[in-house]
Structure 1
Amino acid sequence: MMKKFITTLCFVCFTSLMATAQEDTRIGGFIAYGSEIKSVGVGANAEFPIINNLTIAPSFIYYLPKDEDIIKTTIFEINGNANYYFMNDDSIGFYGLAGINYTSVKVEVEDFGFGFGFGGASSSEGKIGLNLGAGANFNIGKNWMPFAELKYVLSDYDQLVLLAGVKFNL
């Protein structure tokens, strides 16, 4: 009986929270640059309001592969951030961010072509880190808004990431 009551209460609270926050839910796309890997990436993000001035913001970045002679490096990252809006008026929304980062790096060595049956080799590794940064949404009076973000990833793959793109209001 108590389990059903708690489940129902949680469902009602979650549903009402999502109903009031639906108008501020956003999805978007962006272009990013990683300072240590010196590569451009493309990504997608979303923003889900939780309470006043606080959103959950998952994102994914795929960096363009780097080919250096016979070595190809592919990197992607998955992020789960919380954005806190310090300022959110009619023209600009400025926020600080903190969250979890997962970065995956895959390195492939091409076949040397000597005909000895060596088909190349590959190795991949993923590391968890911490994101810290800030961003801004620029309200231009449309159903979409440009934004920019700067974050630092603290992990075995430390780097500064600058990104810019657009978010669409749902």
Structure 2
Amino acid sequence: MKKLLFIACFIASATFMSAQDSKFMAGAGLTYATDIDNIGINVKGLYLINETWEADAGFTYFFEKNNVNYSALDFNGHYVFLNNEGKCLYGLAGINITFYKIEIDGIGTSDYDEYDDYYGGSSEYEDFYGENPFSSLADAMESKGSEFGFNLGFGGRLPLTEALNLTGEIKYILGGANYFSIGAGILYHF
């Protein structure tokens, strides 16, 4: 137990000592996607490999619209064209997986309605007509899937404070799901 506590303290102190030299950034923001035609919330982690190269991973959840939910998972590499006093412009390329889920509620038909008492109920004619042909419409329907694609675009960062950066990206996702994406957010430099 003492060894475990010692190791935990050592790792924590090493993490805090290297915070000034950290190469990690993380943050969140908003994204608009054209063919999805909706706004989403994104979270992103960024690793500064060196002065020229960076890598990021991000997830975007788009709000439900017309019974459809979308989300996207991105992994990108950045080539930094300009890095001047924290101001940064970069080109990006990477992969994207766009997930979708379509949920349609049933129309709510039932085998009994208020006219059944007047007409003697539906069971009288079931032998002739069979079961209610509309009963399958009462069931909810759901479809899920994903599309693989490639990201191409550019972005930038502008320092607001020593640790906070305003960030923006414009990218086109091509492949199974084709859409244009514009995003803005805040990144915290650890």
In the superposition, the TM-score normalised over structure 2's length comes to 0.73
CA distance in 2 between partners of 1:119 and 1:102 (Å): 30
- What is the match of residue 56 of structure 1? 55
CA distance in 2 between partners of 1:144 and 1:92 (Å): 12
What is the percentage of aligned positions where both structures have the same residue? 24
Measured after TM superposition, the shift of residue 151 of structure 1 is 0.4
CA distance in 1 between partners of 2:63 and 2:40 (Å): 6
- What is the match of residue 127 of structure 2? none
The reply to whether residue 23 of structure 1 matches residue 22 of structure 2 is yes
**Which stretches in structure 1 are left out of the alignment for 5+ residues?**
1-18
Distance 1:20 1:98, change over 3 A: farther
1:47-104, CA deviations, whole angstroms, 9 ceiling, x for partnerless residues? 012233211100000000003xxxx000000000001111011151001000000001
In our comparison, the structure showing a higher alpha carbon Rg is 2
Amino acid at match of 2:84: D
- What is the match of residue 131 of structure 1? 151
Amino acid at match of 1:99: G
Out of 73, 85, 91, the position equivalent to 1:78 is 73
Distance 1:135 1:21, change over 3 A: farther
The reply to whether residue 158 of structure 1 matches residue 178 of structure 2 is yes
- What is the match of residue 43 of structure 1? 42
Aligned partners of 1:138 and 1:146 also within 8 Å = yes
Aligned residues: 148
Distance 1:77 1:22, change over 3 A: farther
Measured after TM superposition, the shift of residue 142 of structure 1 is 2.9
Q: Tell me which protein shows more strand as a share of its residues.
A: 1
CA distance in 1 between partners of 2:49 and 2:188 (Å): 18
- What is the match of residue 120 of structure 2? none
Displaced runs of 4 or more, over 4 A: 19-22
Aligned-residue CA RMSD (Å):
1.8
Distance 1:20 1:55, change over 3 A: farther
Distance 1:52 1:92, change over 3 A: closer
CA distance in 1 between partners of 2:186 and 2:49 (Å): 21
The reply to whether residue 148 of structure 1 matches residue 168 of structure 2 is yes
Amino acid at match of 1:147: T
Amino acid at match of 2:143: S
Amino acid at match of 2:141: A
- What is the match of residue 15 of structure 2? none
In the superposition, the TM-score normalised over structure 1's length comes to 0.82
- What is the match of residue 113 of structure 2? none
CA distance in 1 between partners of 2:60 and 2:107 (Å): 31
Measured after TM superposition, the shift of residue 105 of structure 1 is 1.1
Amino acid at match of 2:179: Q
Aligned with 2:42: secondary structure?
strand
